[in-house]
Amino acid sequence: MTSITSRPRNCHRLTRTFARLCASLTEEAEAIGWYEQRLAVEADPEALAVMRDAQGEEFKHFSMDLEFLLRRTPSWRAIAEGVLFRAGDIVDHGEQAEAEALGDDGDDGSGGAASSDDGTGSLGIGSLKGAAR
Ligand SMILES: [Fe+2]
C-alpha 124 – ligand 1 centre gap (Å):
27
CA–centroid distance, residue 130 to ligand 1 (Å): 30
Q: What is the pLDDT of residue 89?
A: 98
Q: How far is CA 125 from the centre of its chain?
A: 17
How high is the mean pLDDT in each 10-residue block of the chain (133 residues)? Answer: 63 95 98 98 98 98 98 97 98 98 64 41 43 42
**Residue ranges per structural domain of the chain:** 13-72, 74-107
Question: Could you tell me the distance, in angstroms and rounded to a whole number, from the CA of residue 6 to the centre of ligand 1?
Answer: 29
Distance 68 CA to ligand 1 centre (A): 15
DSSP reduced 3-state for 22: helix
Ligand 1 centroid–CA 61 distance in Å is: 5
* pLDDT at residue 11 in the model: 87
Q: For the residues of 53-96, what is the DSSP string, one character each? A: HHHHHHHHHHHHHHHHHHHH-HHHHHHHHHHTT--S-HHHHHHH
Asked if residues 120 and 9 have their Cβ atoms less than 8 Å apart, the reply is no
Residue 3 near residue 73, CB atoms below 8 Å: yes
